[in-house]
Structure 1
Amino acid sequence: MLRSRKRLDLDGAACLVTGAGQGIGLETARALHARGARVALLDVDGARADAAASSLGDGALGVAVDVRDRDGMAAATARVVEAFGRLDVVVANAGVTPARGTLRRLDPDDFDRVLDINVRGVFHTVRPAIEPVIAAGGHMVVVASVAAIMPGPMGSPYMISKAAAEQLGRALRLELAAYGATAGVAYFGVVETEMTAVTMDGDPIAAALGDRMPWPLSRRITAATAGRVIAGGVERRAPRTLAPRGWHAITLGRGLVPALLDDLVARDRALLDLVRRSDAETAVLQKTR
């Protein structure tokens, strides 16, 4: 299990990034590619995925797929493994925000859409990638948000979904540790993206709500900065990455004990053995059905 504690050499590594046609996903793919990795850029918009891959050049592959499509994600992952011969890194980045609205007034279909993409989409991303990532001794990243720990007036579906994504990433880290692979969760504040421009800056009420955030919490970062933070965290096999720095005190104050417990549990050999025993038992049961 010692390989899980070593830095991950991205030179020649095979990576898969969802929501990679623009924004944080594209900049993450760009940062990984700049470190020598081969990158598959997955996006629901196939033309955008192909254009993004072309902008990176050799070693980049565009794949059209909707993360809500479980079978489609399994097929896309298999295609990436076939193209690259392996899979070292997965970044589950694809996400959306809801239309502004309180729980009293929001469209229930919009609630479902956000959770389908931001939660089920993460599961559909990591599940088919687990076996090849374990085989490579690789690393997975779930892109959550500081929204996971913040109150969510008029945008609660996003906060709810990111809190769920965070817990998925933490569980994934502990379970992969049993097999020498690693995982981490990325947390960001406000990132300058097209989504931010539409949902925050383009909405007077949302903009006024954002203006009430105190400095340094109101400080924004670029998508390129977020991408570099993720890529650096992948190299370090970081269990947690966060930007901008102003959020560190709040997240540590809220999450110090859970973070320490995560670290202890990830090194508990008896617990990791239970993970492997559970997997083995389930595999036997599944074969007898």
Structure 2
Amino acid sequence: MASRRSQHTEQLKGKVCVVTGASSGLGESIAIMFAQRGASVTLCGRNEDRLQASLTLCVQASGGQAGRFLAVSGDVVDPSARKAIVEKTVEKFGRLDVLVANAGVADPQSGILTASEETFDKIMNTNVKAVFFQIQEAVPHLEASKGNIIVVSSMSTLMACSPNIVYPMSKAAVDHMIRCLAVDLGPKEIRVNAVNPSLIPTRIRRDYAPDEETMDKQYAQALVTEIEKQPLGNVGVTKEAVAEAVSFLASDAASFLTGLCMPVDGGRSFAGTFGNKS
């Protein structure tokens, strides 16, 4: 049992990983788990204070090995930020093995009668365009390392969603991007996968509420509804459960998995529509 536990804690030992959207929520949890499992990690995010706080947590999780971590602030919508993320990672660590494209946005005003072109562009540019071109920046280095890519998608791609439509549209585009890139990058020995979580408590919901207290209350109410529709168990999906799936896909244990969009939702996506009718 002890050797098994040791093997698990070294699941990503020696790998160099980038995690976007790592300054809070799911990205932070992924970065921390990677730190616990032996990886060197570049954390990327827009909020400098939150990013530094996440960096501190990763150093602590590694047992104080600060040299294994790098923080790069910037918005992945900005081409210069995407370039800097990859270049600074390779400059510090000499390679890149895993890209986790986690950064994403949502907006409550994204229904057919409420979305503006500005909202549409914000969601698509962050969730689809930035992911595509962040991968493009990373491919030469991932080809050299025979590395892999994991994109954080959503359970909402597997269900009809209402009234907020543009976000699941963007994630559906991500899912098909995964399948296309798995074929396109397979000859380069680069694996490409996604995880599709159900409702989890992250700051992506901040635009749905005027403050964090209200956001937390809204999440708690939504979670009750979602748990009622979830076949597996009576608790919601946690950030740690999603991070476990990402860690597995990033590891050598998943060496023959590519083009996979993995639901991490307790079976919720099989249990009817998501959201409320407009």
Fold shared per TM-score above 0.5: yes
Q: Which residue is equivalent to 1:246? A: 267
**Gap change, CA 1:155 and 1:38, over 3 Å in 2:** same
Asked if 1 retains the 8 angstrom alpha-carbon contact of 2:155 and 2:269, the reply is no
Q: Which residue is equivalent to 1:189? A: 198
**Gap change, CA 1:209 and 1:134, over 3 Å in 2:** same
Q: 1:18 & 1:208 partners in 2: Cα distance? A: 26
Asked if 2 retains the 8 angstrom alpha-carbon contact of 1:86 and 1:136, the reply is yes
| 1:23 partner amino acid | G
**Match 1:92 to one of 101, 104, 111:** 101
Q: Which residue is equivalent to 1:18? A: 20
Higher relative helix content: 1
Which stretches in structure 2 are left out of the alignment for 5+ residues? 1-9, 60-65, 272-278
Q: 1:225 & 1:21 partners in 2: Cα distance? A: 18
Q: 2:124 & 2:141 partners in 1: Cα distance? A: 26
Deviation at 1:160, TM superposition (A): 0.6
1:134-283 to 2 correspondence within 5 Å? 134-196=143-205, 199=208, 202=215, 211=225, 214-216=229-231, 220-235=236-251, 236-237=254-255, 238-239=257-258, 240=260, 241-247=262-268
Deviation at 1:32, TM superposition (A): 1.3
Q: 2:159 & 2:197 partners in 1: Cα distance? A: 12
Q: Which residue is equivalent to 2:51? A: 49
Q: TM-score, normalised by structure 1?
A: 0.76
Deviation at 1:9, TM superposition (A): 5.8
**Gap change, CA 1:248 and 1:232, over 3 Å in 2:** farther
Deviation at 1:101, TM superposition (A): 4.8
| 1:140 partner amino acid | I
**Match 1:109 to one of 102, 107, 118:** 118
Q: Which residue is equivalent to 2:79? A: 70
Deviation at 1:179, TM superposition (A): 1.2
Deviation at 1:106, TM superposition (A): 2.4
Q: TM-score, normalised by structure 2?
A: 0.79
Asked if 1 retains the 8 angstrom alpha-carbon contact of 2:229 and 2:268, the reply is no
Q: 1:119 & 1:84 partners in 2: Cα distance? A: 27
Q: 1:148 & 1:179 partners in 2: Cα distance? A: 28
Q: Which residue is equivalent to 1:35? A: 37
| 2:70 partner amino acid | L
| 1:39 partner amino acid | V
Q: 2:40 & 2:247 partners in 1: Cα distance? A: 13
Deviation at 1:60, TM superposition (A): 1.5
Q: Secondary structure at the match of 1:191?
A: coil
Q: Secondary structure at the match of 1:87?
A: coil
Asked if 2 retains the 8 angstrom alpha-carbon contact of 1:30 and 1:227, the reply is no
Deviation at 1:70, TM superposition (A): 1.4
Q: 2:117 & 2:223 partners in 1: Cα distance? A: 22
Asked if 1 retains the 8 angstrom alpha-carbon contact of 2:109 and 2:119, the reply is no
Asked if 2 retains the 8 angstrom alpha-carbon contact of 1:193 and 1:222, the reply is no
Asked if 1 retains the 8 angstrom alpha-carbon contact of 2:32 and 2:57, the reply is no
| 1:49 partner amino acid | L
Deviations 1:226-249 (A, max 9, x none): 112211121124433321231476
Aligned length: 244
Q: Over aligned residue pairs, what C-alpha RMSD do you find?
A: 2.8
Deviations 1:124-163 (A, max 9, x none): 3211001100100011011111111221212101011000
Q: 1:105 & 1:196 partners in 2: Cα distance? A: 17
Q: Which residue is equivalent to 1:275? A: none
Q: Secondary structure at the match of 2:112?
A: coil
Asked if 2 retains the 8 angstrom alpha-carbon contact of 1:99 and 1:110, the reply is no
Asked if 2 retains the 8 angstrom alpha-carbon contact of 1:144 and 1:185, the reply is yes
Q: 1:60 & 1:83 partners in 2: Cα distance? A: 9
Deviations 1:193-214 (A, max 9, x none): 233476387487x957983772
Give the % identical residues.
27
